Chains A and B, each alone.
Chain A
Amino acid sequence: MVMRKWFLLPARAVMAALFVAPMAIVAAYSLLTRGAYGGQGAPWTLENYARLLDPLYAGIAVKSFWIAGVSTAVCLAMGFPLALFIARARSRKALWLGLVTLPFWTSFLVRTYAWMFLLRDTGLVNTLLLGLGVIREPLPLLYNDSAVVLGLVYGYLPFMVLPVYAVLEKMDGALLEAAGDLGARPWEVVWRVVLPLAKPGLAAGGVLVFIPCLGAYLTPDLMGGGKSILIGNVIQNQFTTARDWPFGAALSVVLMAMVMALAWVARRRGGEGGLP
Protein backbone atom coordinates (compact mmCIF):
# COMPACT_ATOMS: atom_id res chain seq x y z
CA MET A 1 0.00 0.00 0.00
CA VAL A 2 1.47 3.31 -1.16
CA MET A 3 -0.66 5.53 1.05
CA ARG A 4 0.64 4.00 4.23
CA LYS A 5 4.03 5.69 4.14
CA TRP A 6 2.48 9.12 3.68
CA PHE A 7 -0.01 8.47 6.43
CA LEU A 8 2.79 7.71 8.87
CA LEU A 9 4.98 10.62 7.84
CA PRO A 10 3.52 13.45 9.99
CA ALA A 11 3.39 11.31 13.13
CA ARG A 12 6.88 10.02 12.52
CA ALA A 13 8.24 13.53 11.99
CA VAL A 14 6.57 14.88 15.14
CA MET A 15 7.68 11.99 17.34
CA ALA A 16 11.24 12.04 16.00
CA ALA A 17 11.66 15.80 16.35
CA LEU A 18 9.71 16.47 19.52
CA PHE A 19 10.08 13.26 21.51
CA VAL A 20 13.11 11.24 20.48
CA ALA A 21 15.41 14.20 19.81
CA PRO A 22 14.57 16.02 23.08
CA MET A 23 15.12 12.81 25.03
CA ALA A 24 18.46 12.32 23.31
CA ILE A 25 19.47 15.88 24.14
CA VAL A 26 18.60 15.35 27.80
CA ALA A 27 20.64 12.16 27.81
CA ALA A 28 23.58 14.04 26.27
CA TYR A 29 23.29 17.00 28.66
CA SER A 30 23.36 14.63 31.62
CA LEU A 31 26.98 13.88 30.70
CA LEU A 32 28.08 17.51 30.36
CA THR A 33 29.37 20.03 32.88
CA ARG A 34 27.39 23.00 34.07
CA GLY A 35 28.73 26.34 32.83
CA ALA A 36 29.48 29.31 35.06
CA TYR A 37 26.27 31.15 34.07
CA GLY A 38 24.02 28.15 33.69
CA GLY A 39 24.22 26.47 30.30
CA GLN A 40 26.36 23.41 29.75
CA GLY A 41 29.49 22.37 27.93
CA ALA A 42 32.63 20.24 27.92
CA PRO A 43 34.16 18.32 29.53
CA TRP A 44 32.14 15.13 29.40
CA THR A 45 31.66 13.74 32.90
CA LEU A 46 29.74 11.29 35.09
CA GLU A 47 29.84 13.82 37.91
CA ASN A 48 26.07 14.51 37.65
CA TYR A 49 25.25 10.87 38.26
CA ALA A 50 27.69 10.67 41.16
CA ARG A 51 25.81 13.54 42.79
CA LEU A 52 22.69 11.37 42.89
CA LEU A 53 24.34 9.35 45.63
CA ASP A 54 24.34 12.45 47.84
CA PRO A 55 22.10 11.50 50.79
CA LEU A 56 19.94 14.54 50.05
CA TYR A 57 19.00 13.32 46.57
CA ALA A 58 19.07 9.62 47.38
CA GLY A 59 16.67 10.46 50.19
CA ILE A 60 14.34 12.27 47.79
CA ALA A 61 14.44 9.31 45.42
CA VAL A 62 13.54 6.91 48.23
CA LYS A 63 10.80 9.22 49.38
CA SER A 64 9.39 9.47 45.85
CA PHE A 65 9.16 5.69 45.72
CA TRP A 66 7.60 5.61 49.15
CA ILE A 67 4.94 8.23 48.35
CA ALA A 68 4.15 6.60 45.00
CA GLY A 69 3.96 3.19 46.71
CA VAL A 70 1.64 4.39 49.47
CA SER A 71 -0.56 6.20 46.96
CA THR A 72 -0.77 3.06 44.82
CA ALA A 73 -1.61 0.94 47.85
CA VAL A 74 -4.38 3.34 48.87
CA CYS A 75 -5.70 3.33 45.30
CA LEU A 76 -5.71 -0.49 45.36
CA ALA A 77 -7.57 -0.58 48.66
CA MET A 78 -10.08 2.06 47.57
CA GLY A 79 -10.38 1.10 43.91
CA PHE A 80 -10.98 -2.62 44.26
CA PRO A 81 -14.23 -2.44 46.25
CA LEU A 82 -15.48 0.38 44.04
CA ALA A 83 -14.77 -1.64 40.90
CA LEU A 84 -16.47 -4.63 42.54
CA PHE A 85 -19.51 -2.52 43.35
CA ILE A 86 -19.82 -1.35 39.75
CA ALA A 87 -19.25 -4.83 38.31
CA ARG A 88 -21.87 -6.37 40.61
CA ALA A 89 -24.40 -3.53 40.26
CA ARG A 90 -27.72 -4.79 38.95
CA SER A 91 -28.42 -1.69 36.89
CA ARG A 92 -26.97 1.60 35.67
CA LYS A 93 -23.44 0.28 35.34
CA ALA A 94 -22.64 2.88 32.70
CA LEU A 95 -23.69 5.66 35.04
CA TRP A 96 -21.59 4.35 37.95
CA LEU A 97 -18.61 3.93 35.68
CA GLY A 98 -19.13 7.36 34.18
CA LEU A 99 -19.15 8.92 37.64
CA VAL A 100 -15.70 7.42 38.23
CA THR A 101 -14.25 8.68 34.95
CA LEU A 102 -15.93 12.10 35.03
CA PRO A 103 -13.34 13.75 37.34
CA PHE A 104 -10.68 12.36 35.02
CA TRP A 105 -12.03 14.61 32.27
CA THR A 106 -12.09 17.68 34.45
CA SER A 107 -8.92 19.64 34.98
CA PHE A 108 -6.28 18.04 37.18
CA LEU A 109 -5.28 21.50 38.34
CA VAL A 110 -8.84 22.34 39.31
CA ARG A 111 -9.18 19.09 41.20
CA THR A 112 -5.97 19.78 43.09
CA TYR A 113 -7.12 23.30 43.83
CA ALA A 114 -10.41 21.93 45.16
CA TRP A 115 -8.53 20.05 47.85
CA MET A 116 -6.39 23.07 48.67
CA PHE A 117 -9.60 25.01 49.10
CA LEU A 118 -10.84 22.42 51.58
CA LEU A 119 -7.63 21.76 53.48
CA ARG A 120 -5.67 24.99 53.84
CA ASP A 121 -5.49 26.76 57.20
CA THR A 122 -8.32 29.07 56.22
CA GLY A 123 -10.00 26.35 54.18
CA LEU A 124 -13.48 24.96 54.61
CA VAL A 125 -12.59 22.07 56.93
CA ASN A 126 -10.64 24.20 59.35
CA THR A 127 -13.18 27.03 59.20
CA LEU A 128 -15.96 24.57 60.02
CA LEU A 129 -14.06 22.88 62.84
CA LEU A 130 -13.04 26.22 64.32
CA GLY A 131 -16.58 27.50 64.00
CA LEU A 132 -17.96 24.44 65.76
CA GLY A 133 -15.38 24.87 68.50
CA VAL A 134 -13.89 21.42 67.94
CA ILE A 135 -10.41 22.93 67.57
CA ARG A 136 -8.80 26.21 68.61
CA GLU A 137 -5.91 26.28 66.16
CA PRO A 138 -6.30 25.35 62.49
CA LEU A 139 -5.13 21.79 61.81
CA PRO A 140 -2.10 21.54 59.49
CA LEU A 141 -3.99 19.54 56.87
CA LEU A 142 -2.21 20.87 53.79
CA TYR A 143 1.48 21.05 52.90
CA ASN A 144 2.62 17.65 54.17
CA ASP A 145 3.17 14.14 52.83
CA SER A 146 -0.34 12.95 53.67
CA ALA A 147 -1.80 15.80 51.66
CA VAL A 148 0.39 14.78 48.69
CA VAL A 149 -0.78 11.16 48.96
CA LEU A 150 -4.38 12.36 49.16
CA GLY A 151 -3.94 14.49 46.06
CA LEU A 152 -2.32 11.66 44.11
CA VAL A 153 -5.00 9.16 45.14
CA TYR A 154 -7.70 11.62 44.15
CA GLY A 155 -6.05 12.22 40.82
CA TYR A 156 -5.31 8.66 39.82
CA LEU A 157 -8.04 6.53 41.42
CA PRO A 158 -9.89 6.16 38.07
CA PHE A 159 -6.74 4.53 36.60
CA MET A 160 -7.13 1.79 39.20
CA VAL A 161 -10.88 1.35 38.98
CA LEU A 162 -11.09 0.97 35.20
CA PRO A 163 -8.76 -2.01 34.63
CA VAL A 164 -10.00 -3.79 37.76
CA TYR A 165 -13.58 -3.26 36.63
CA ALA A 166 -12.73 -4.60 33.16
CA VAL A 167 -11.54 -7.88 34.70
CA LEU A 168 -14.35 -8.20 37.25
CA GLU A 169 -16.97 -7.46 34.61
CA LYS A 170 -15.91 -10.52 32.64
CA MET A 171 -15.99 -12.77 35.70
CA ASP A 172 -18.63 -15.51 35.65
CA GLY A 173 -21.20 -14.84 38.38
CA ALA A 174 -21.63 -18.60 38.86
CA LEU A 175 -18.13 -18.71 40.35
CA LEU A 176 -19.26 -16.50 43.22
CA GLU A 177 -22.36 -18.64 43.75
CA ALA A 178 -20.24 -21.77 43.60
CA ALA A 179 -17.94 -20.41 46.31
CA GLY A 180 -20.89 -19.61 48.55
CA ASP A 181 -22.36 -23.02 47.80
CA LEU A 182 -19.12 -24.65 48.93
CA GLY A 183 -19.36 -22.91 52.27
CA ALA A 184 -17.45 -19.66 51.80
CA ARG A 185 -18.78 -16.59 53.64
CA PRO A 186 -19.21 -13.46 51.51
CA TRP A 187 -15.88 -11.92 52.60
CA GLU A 188 -14.21 -15.28 51.98
CA VAL A 189 -15.65 -15.34 48.48
CA VAL A 190 -14.01 -11.97 47.87
CA TRP A 191 -10.72 -13.03 49.39
CA ARG A 192 -10.45 -16.51 47.88
CA VAL A 193 -12.13 -16.10 44.50
CA VAL A 194 -12.70 -12.48 43.44
CA LEU A 195 -9.34 -11.09 44.49
CA PRO A 196 -7.23 -13.84 42.85
CA LEU A 197 -9.25 -13.49 39.65
CA ALA A 198 -8.88 -9.70 39.68
CA LYS A 199 -5.08 -9.93 39.91
CA PRO A 200 -4.33 -8.98 36.28
CA GLY A 201 -6.51 -5.91 36.63
CA LEU A 202 -4.98 -4.99 39.97
CA ALA A 203 -1.48 -5.33 38.51
CA ALA A 204 -2.35 -3.18 35.50
CA GLY A 205 -4.02 -0.59 37.70
CA GLY A 206 -1.06 -0.62 40.06
CA VAL A 207 1.34 0.20 37.24
CA LEU A 208 -0.99 2.83 35.76
CA VAL A 209 -1.11 4.59 39.13
CA PHE A 210 2.46 4.06 40.29
CA ILE A 211 4.14 5.45 37.17
CA PRO A 212 2.52 8.90 37.16
CA CYS A 213 2.82 9.09 40.96
CA LEU A 214 6.55 8.44 40.77
CA GLY A 215 7.08 11.31 38.35
CA ALA A 216 4.45 13.59 39.88
CA TYR A 217 5.20 17.29 39.88
CA LEU A 218 2.05 19.33 40.29
CA THR A 219 0.54 17.57 43.31
CA PRO A 220 3.64 17.69 45.54
CA ASP A 221 4.30 21.23 44.36
CA LEU A 222 0.85 22.54 45.27
CA MET A 223 -0.24 20.23 48.10
CA GLY A 224 3.20 19.58 49.54
CA GLY A 225 3.98 23.28 49.48
CA GLY A 226 7.73 22.84 49.20
CA LYS A 227 7.78 20.67 52.32
CA SER A 228 7.20 17.45 50.44
CA ILE A 229 9.64 17.45 47.55
CA LEU A 230 9.75 14.56 45.09
CA ILE A 231 12.05 13.80 42.15
CA GLY A 232 9.77 15.63 39.75
CA ASN A 233 10.08 18.85 41.72
CA VAL A 234 13.88 18.60 41.88
CA ILE A 235 14.06 18.13 38.12
CA GLN A 236 11.85 21.12 37.46
CA ASN A 237 13.86 23.18 39.91
CA GLN A 238 17.18 22.31 38.27
CA PHE A 239 15.89 23.45 34.89
CA THR A 240 14.37 26.69 36.19
CA THR A 241 15.51 28.30 39.43
CA ALA A 242 18.76 26.41 40.04
CA ARG A 243 19.78 26.49 36.37
CA ASP A 244 21.83 23.31 36.66
CA TRP A 245 20.63 21.58 33.51
CA PRO A 246 23.19 18.75 33.45
CA PHE A 247 22.20 17.62 36.93
CA GLY A 248 18.50 17.99 36.13
CA ALA A 249 19.11 15.97 32.97
CA ALA A 250 20.83 13.22 34.96
CA LEU A 251 17.85 13.07 37.32
CA SER A 252 15.51 12.91 34.32
CA VAL A 253 17.48 10.03 32.82
CA VAL A 254 17.34 8.09 36.08
CA LEU A 255 13.61 8.72 36.55
CA MET A 256 12.98 7.76 32.93
CA ALA A 257 14.99 4.56 33.38
CA MET A 258 12.95 3.56 36.42
CA VAL A 259 9.66 4.30 34.68
CA MET A 260 10.71 2.41 31.57
CA ALA A 261 11.81 -0.59 33.62
CA LEU A 262 8.43 -0.67 35.35
CA ALA A 263 6.48 -0.23 32.14
CA TRP A 264 8.56 -2.89 30.45
CA VAL A 265 7.90 -5.43 33.19
CA ALA A 266 4.21 -4.57 33.16
CA ARG A 267 4.04 -4.93 29.41
CA ARG A 268 5.83 -8.27 29.40
CA ARG A 269 3.53 -9.69 32.04
CA GLY A 270 0.83 -7.85 30.14
CA GLY A 271 -2.06 -10.02 29.10
CA GLU A 272 -5.52 -9.06 30.24
CA GLY A 273 -6.07 -5.47 31.25
CA GLY A 274 -2.43 -4.72 30.53
CA LEU A 275 -1.02 -1.48 29.20
CA PRO A 276 -1.85 -0.52 25.64
Chain B
Amino acid sequence: MRRGLAVYAALAYLFLHAPLLILAAFSFNTSKYTVWEGASLVWYRALWEDGRLLEAAWNSVLIGCAATVLATAMGTLAAYAMWKRGARWLEGAFFLSLVTPEVVMGVALLAFYQWVFHFLDVRLGMHTVIAAHVMFSLAYVVVVVMARLRTMDRSLEEAALDLGATEAETFWRVTLPRMAPAIGTAALLVFAISFDDYVITSLVAGVDSETLPMLIYTMARRGVSPAVNAISTIITVAVGVMILMAERWRRA
Protein backbone atom coordinates (compact mmCIF):
# COMPACT_ATOMS: atom_id res chain seq x y z
CA MET B 1 0.00 0.00 0.00
CA ARG B 2 2.65 2.46 1.10
CA ARG B 3 4.85 1.42 -1.78
CA GLY B 4 1.97 1.74 -4.23
CA LEU B 5 1.27 5.24 -2.98
CA ALA B 6 4.92 6.19 -3.28
CA VAL B 7 5.07 4.97 -6.89
CA TYR B 8 1.89 6.89 -7.65
CA ALA B 9 3.28 10.02 -5.99
CA ALA B 10 6.45 9.79 -8.04
CA LEU B 11 4.36 9.71 -11.22
CA ALA B 12 2.19 12.58 -10.01
CA TYR B 13 5.22 14.73 -9.27
CA LEU B 14 6.59 13.86 -12.68
CA PHE B 15 3.29 15.00 -14.20
CA LEU B 16 3.49 18.26 -12.23
CA HIS B 17 7.10 19.14 -12.94
CA ALA B 18 8.29 17.38 -16.08
CA PRO B 19 6.55 19.75 -18.53
CA LEU B 20 8.27 22.81 -17.08
CA LEU B 21 11.64 21.06 -16.86
CA ILE B 22 11.41 19.90 -20.47
CA LEU B 23 10.35 23.38 -21.51
CA ALA B 24 13.36 24.84 -19.75
CA ALA B 25 15.73 22.27 -21.25
CA PHE B 26 14.65 23.13 -24.78
CA SER B 27 15.21 26.83 -24.21
CA PHE B 28 18.92 26.00 -24.46
CA ASN B 29 18.48 24.18 -27.75
CA THR B 30 20.30 25.66 -30.73
CA SER B 31 17.64 24.52 -33.19
CA LYS B 32 14.37 26.30 -33.78
CA TYR B 33 12.64 22.91 -33.91
CA THR B 34 12.04 20.31 -31.22
CA VAL B 35 15.12 18.37 -32.22
CA TRP B 36 18.14 18.66 -29.98
CA GLU B 37 21.06 20.21 -31.87
CA GLY B 38 23.30 21.21 -29.02
CA ALA B 39 23.20 23.67 -26.18
CA SER B 40 23.51 27.38 -26.60
CA LEU B 41 22.17 30.64 -25.33
CA VAL B 42 21.06 31.95 -28.73
CA TRP B 43 17.44 32.32 -27.67
CA TYR B 44 18.35 34.19 -24.53
CA ARG B 45 20.50 36.52 -26.63
CA ALA B 46 17.58 37.01 -29.00
CA LEU B 47 15.37 38.03 -26.07
CA TRP B 48 17.86 40.61 -24.97
CA GLU B 49 17.78 42.22 -28.41
CA ASP B 50 13.99 42.20 -28.68
CA GLY B 51 12.85 45.72 -27.84
CA ARG B 52 9.15 44.88 -27.71
CA LEU B 53 9.79 42.09 -25.26
CA LEU B 54 11.92 44.22 -22.99
CA GLU B 55 9.24 46.87 -22.94
CA ALA B 56 6.55 44.31 -22.12
CA ALA B 57 8.69 42.91 -19.31
CA TRP B 58 9.30 46.41 -17.96
CA ASN B 59 5.55 47.12 -18.06
CA SER B 60 4.82 43.90 -16.20
CA VAL B 61 7.35 44.68 -13.50
CA LEU B 62 6.04 48.21 -13.14
CA ILE B 63 2.41 47.06 -12.92
CA GLY B 64 3.37 44.26 -10.55
CA CYS B 65 5.23 46.57 -8.19
CA ALA B 66 2.53 49.22 -8.16
CA ALA B 67 -0.22 46.66 -7.60
CA THR B 68 1.81 44.96 -4.86
CA VAL B 69 2.40 48.12 -2.89
CA LEU B 70 -1.15 49.39 -3.18
CA ALA B 71 -3.01 46.12 -2.70
CA THR B 72 -0.81 44.97 0.18
CA ALA B 73 -1.20 48.24 2.05
CA MET B 74 -4.96 48.53 1.52
CA GLY B 75 -5.56 44.83 2.15
CA THR B 76 -3.53 44.80 5.35
CA LEU B 77 -5.37 47.78 6.79
CA ALA B 78 -8.71 46.28 5.80
CA ALA B 79 -7.85 42.87 7.28
CA TYR B 80 -6.82 44.48 10.54
CA ALA B 81 -10.03 46.51 10.71
CA MET B 82 -12.12 43.46 9.87
CA TRP B 83 -10.33 41.45 12.55
CA LYS B 84 -11.35 44.07 15.07
CA ARG B 85 -14.94 43.92 13.98
CA GLY B 86 -16.55 42.35 10.91
CA ALA B 87 -17.46 44.43 7.86
CA ARG B 88 -20.19 42.45 6.24
CA TRP B 89 -20.63 43.77 2.75
CA LEU B 90 -16.90 44.12 2.26
CA GLU B 91 -16.40 40.51 3.32
CA GLY B 92 -19.10 39.50 0.86
CA ALA B 93 -17.48 41.50 -1.93
CA PHE B 94 -14.08 39.92 -1.26
CA PHE B 95 -15.56 36.45 -1.23
CA LEU B 96 -17.40 37.07 -4.51
CA SER B 97 -14.32 38.55 -6.14
CA LEU B 98 -12.44 35.35 -5.30
CA VAL B 99 -14.97 33.13 -7.06
CA THR B 100 -15.74 35.42 -10.00
CA PRO B 101 -14.38 33.95 -13.24
CA GLU B 102 -11.51 36.05 -14.55
CA VAL B 103 -13.14 36.60 -17.89
CA VAL B 104 -16.31 37.98 -16.26
CA MET B 105 -14.21 40.29 -14.12
CA GLY B 106 -12.34 41.42 -17.20
CA VAL B 107 -15.38 42.26 -19.31
CA ALA B 108 -17.06 43.95 -16.35
CA LEU B 109 -14.02 46.18 -15.83
CA LEU B 110 -13.86 46.89 -19.54
CA ALA B 111 -17.53 47.88 -19.59
CA PHE B 112 -17.03 50.01 -16.49
CA TYR B 113 -13.97 51.81 -17.86
CA GLN B 114 -15.71 52.55 -21.18
CA TRP B 115 -18.67 53.94 -19.29
CA VAL B 116 -16.46 56.14 -17.11
CA PHE B 117 -14.61 57.38 -20.20
CA HIS B 118 -17.85 58.99 -21.37
CA PHE B 119 -17.38 61.50 -18.58
CA LEU B 120 -13.63 61.72 -18.27
CA ASP B 121 -10.96 62.27 -20.82
CA VAL B 122 -8.97 59.08 -20.10
CA ARG B 123 -7.95 56.09 -22.18
CA LEU B 124 -7.10 52.51 -21.36
CA GLY B 125 -3.49 52.21 -20.31
CA MET B 126 -1.15 51.29 -17.49
CA HIS B 127 -3.34 52.98 -14.89
CA THR B 128 -6.44 50.96 -15.80
CA VAL B 129 -4.41 47.75 -15.61
CA ILE B 130 -2.92 48.68 -12.23
CA ALA B 131 -6.36 49.58 -10.84
CA ALA B 132 -7.75 46.24 -12.01
CA HIS B 133 -4.84 44.33 -10.49
CA VAL B 134 -5.18 46.11 -7.15
CA MET B 135 -8.86 45.20 -7.05
CA PHE B 136 -8.55 41.49 -7.80
CA SER B 137 -5.55 41.01 -5.48
CA LEU B 138 -7.12 42.73 -2.47
CA ALA B 139 -9.10 39.65 -1.42
CA TYR B 140 -5.96 37.49 -1.49
CA VAL B 141 -4.14 39.91 0.80
CA VAL B 142 -7.07 39.95 3.20
CA VAL B 143 -7.28 36.14 3.28
CA VAL B 144 -3.56 35.70 3.96
CA VAL B 145 -3.25 38.48 6.56
CA MET B 146 -6.51 37.48 8.25
CA ALA B 147 -5.31 33.90 8.62
CA ARG B 148 -2.34 35.21 10.56
CA LEU B 149 -4.41 37.60 12.67
CA ARG B 150 -6.72 34.76 13.67
CA THR B 151 -3.82 33.01 15.37
CA MET B 152 -2.96 36.14 17.32
CA ASP B 153 -3.81 36.73 20.93
CA ARG B 154 -6.03 39.77 21.27
CA SER B 155 -4.81 40.34 24.81
CA LEU B 156 -1.44 41.47 23.40
CA GLU B 157 -3.08 44.64 22.12
CA GLU B 158 -4.91 45.09 25.38
CA ALA B 159 -1.65 44.72 27.24
CA ALA B 160 -0.07 47.44 25.07
CA LEU B 161 -3.01 49.77 25.68
CA ASP B 162 -2.84 48.95 29.37
CA LEU B 163 0.82 49.95 29.41
CA GLY B 164 -0.09 53.34 28.05
CA ALA B 165 0.32 53.01 24.28
CA THR B 166 -2.16 54.82 22.07
CA GLU B 167 -4.19 52.93 19.50
CA ALA B 168 -1.90 54.00 16.68
CA GLU B 169 1.21 53.07 18.65
CA THR B 170 -0.27 49.71 19.50
CA PHE B 171 -0.97 48.97 15.85
CA TRP B 172 2.43 50.20 14.75
CA ARG B 173 4.59 48.67 17.49
CA VAL B 174 2.71 45.53 18.50
CA THR B 175 0.33 44.25 15.87
CA LEU B 176 2.07 45.24 12.64
CA PRO B 177 5.39 43.53 13.51
CA ARG B 178 3.50 40.33 14.27
CA MET B 179 1.65 40.53 10.96
CA ALA B 180 4.90 41.11 9.05
CA PRO B 181 5.48 37.54 7.80
CA ALA B 182 1.90 37.32 6.53
CA ILE B 183 2.20 40.72 4.88
CA GLY B 184 5.37 39.54 3.15
CA THR B 185 3.63 36.40 1.90
CA ALA B 186 0.68 38.47 0.73
CA ALA B 187 2.92 40.89 -1.15
CA LEU B 188 4.66 38.01 -2.87
CA LEU B 189 1.34 36.49 -3.80
CA VAL B 190 0.05 39.77 -5.23
CA PHE B 191 3.17 40.22 -7.33
CA ALA B 192 2.97 36.65 -8.62
CA ILE B 193 -0.72 36.98 -9.52
CA SER B 194 -0.30 40.40 -11.09
CA PHE B 195 2.80 39.42 -13.02
CA ASP B 196 1.01 36.35 -14.36
CA ASP B 197 -2.40 37.71 -15.25
CA TYR B 198 -3.39 37.57 -18.87
CA VAL B 199 -7.20 37.33 -19.08
CA ILE B 200 -8.17 40.52 -17.24
CA THR B 201 -5.10 42.47 -18.32
CA SER B 202 -5.65 41.82 -22.00
CA LEU B 203 -9.19 43.21 -21.74
CA VAL B 204 -8.32 46.43 -19.93
CA ALA B 205 -4.86 47.18 -21.36
CA GLY B 206 -4.30 50.05 -23.79
CA VAL B 207 -2.05 50.14 -26.82
CA ASP B 208 0.89 51.36 -24.76
CA SER B 209 0.56 48.83 -21.98
CA GLU B 210 1.37 45.43 -23.41
CA THR B 211 2.51 43.10 -20.63
CA LEU B 212 4.74 40.06 -20.71
CA PRO B 213 1.86 37.53 -20.49
CA MET B 214 0.14 39.33 -23.38
CA LEU B 215 3.26 39.02 -25.48
CA ILE B 216 3.78 35.37 -24.53
CA TYR B 217 0.17 34.69 -25.42
CA THR B 218 0.60 36.26 -28.86
CA MET B 219 3.80 34.31 -29.47
CA ALA B 220 2.26 31.06 -28.22
CA ARG B 221 -0.68 31.47 -30.57
CA ARG B 222 1.57 32.25 -33.50
CA GLY B 223 3.50 29.03 -33.18
CA VAL B 224 6.41 27.38 -31.53
CA SER B 225 9.44 29.47 -30.80
CA PRO B 226 12.24 28.58 -28.42
CA ALA B 227 12.22 32.26 -27.49
CA VAL B 228 8.99 31.61 -25.58
CA ASN B 229 10.72 28.72 -23.80
CA ALA B 230 13.49 31.08 -22.84
CA ILE B 231 11.16 33.76 -21.41
CA SER B 232 9.15 31.08 -19.62
CA THR B 233 12.31 29.69 -18.07
CA ILE B 234 13.42 33.11 -16.90
CA ILE B 235 10.02 33.81 -15.35
CA THR B 236 9.87 30.42 -13.63
CA VAL B 237 13.37 30.69 -12.24
CA ALA B 238 12.82 34.28 -11.12
CA VAL B 239 9.61 33.39 -9.32
CA GLY B 240 11.25 30.32 -7.80
CA VAL B 241 14.16 32.36 -6.48
CA MET B 242 11.76 34.95 -5.13
CA ILE B 243 9.79 32.30 -3.22
CA LEU B 244 12.90 30.65 -1.83
CA MET B 245 14.21 33.99 -0.65
CA ALA B 246 10.89 34.86 0.93
CA GLU B 247 10.81 31.48 2.67
CA ARG B 248 14.35 32.04 4.00
CA TRP B 249 13.47 35.50 5.17
CA ARG B 250 10.35 34.26 6.90
CA ARG B 251 12.24 31.55 8.76
CA ALA B 252 15.07 33.86 9.77
Contacts and interface: CB of A to CB of B under 8 A. Distances in A.
B5 A88 contact: yes
Contacts of A23: 108
B41 interface: no
Contact of B101 (A5, A11, A114, A214): A214
B111 A116 contact: no
Contacts of A16: 93
Given A82-B12, A276-B143, A248 B107 contact: yes
Interface in B222-238: 224, 228-229, 232, 235-236
B198 A109 contact: yes
Contacts of A3: 81, 167-168, 171
Interface in A191-249: 211-212, 214-218, 222, 232-233, 235-236, 239-240, 245, 248-249
Contact of B99 (A187, A235, A259): A259
Most A CB within 10 A of own CB, among B9, B95, B132: B9
Contacts of B168: 3
Contacts of A8: 77-78, 81-82, 87, 90
Q: Is the interface of B mostly helix, strand, loop or mixed?
A: helix
Contacts of B33: 122, 127
A106 B239 contact: yes
Interface residues of B, number: 82
Given A11-B78, A25-B108, A235-B103, A88 B2 contact: yes
A15 B138 contact: yes
B205 to A, nearest CB: 12
A157 B11 CA distance: 14
Contacts of A63: none
Contacts of A86: 9
B163 interface: no
A60 to B, nearest CB: 14
Given A21-B112, A113-B216, A235-B104, A11 B75 contact: yes
B101 A239 contact: no
Contacts of B16: 99-100, 102-103, 154, 157
B195 A107 contact: yes
A85 interface: yes
B39 to A, nearest CB: 16
A37 interface: no
A187 B1 contact: yes
B164 to A, nearest CB: 17
Contacts of B199: 217-218, 236
A122 to B, nearest CB: 6
Nearest to B200: A217
B103 A215 contact: yes
Contact of B111 (A29, A85, A100, A105): A29
A233 B101 CA distance: 11
A260 interface: yes
Given A113-B216, A114-B232, A215-B104, A25 B20 contact: no
Interface string A68-105: 00000000001001101110100000001001101101
A78 B235 contact: no
A217 B90 contact: no
B77 A118 contact: no
Contact of B100 (A110, A116, A157, A256): A256
Given A8-B81, A85-B6, A107 B22 contact: no
B239 A107 contact: yes
Nearest to A3: B167
A245 to B, nearest CB: 7
Contacts of A50: none
A215 B107 contact: no
Nearest to B10: A85
A123 B228 CA distance: 14
5 contacts: A10-B77, A18-B131, A110-B232, A186-B1, A222-B220
Interface of A: 1-5, 7-8, 10-12, 14-16, 18-23, 25-26, 29, 78, 81-82, 84-86, 88, 96, 99-100, 102-103, 105-118, 120, 122-124, 127, 154, 157, 186-187, 190, 211-212, 214-218, 222, 232-233, 235-236, 239-240, 245, 248-249, 252, 255-256, 259-260, 262-263, 267, 275-276
Instruction: Pick the 6 closest A-B CB pairs, nearest first.
Output: A215-B101, A11-B78, A22-B108, A186-B1, A22-B112, A114-B19
Given A120-B224, A275-B99, 18 more contacts: A1-B167, A4-B81, A18-B132, A85-B8, A102-B243, A105-B239, A109-B220, A112-B220, A157-B16, A212-B101, A215-B100, A215-B102, A217-B101, A217-B102, A222-B220, A245-B111, A252-B107, A256-B100
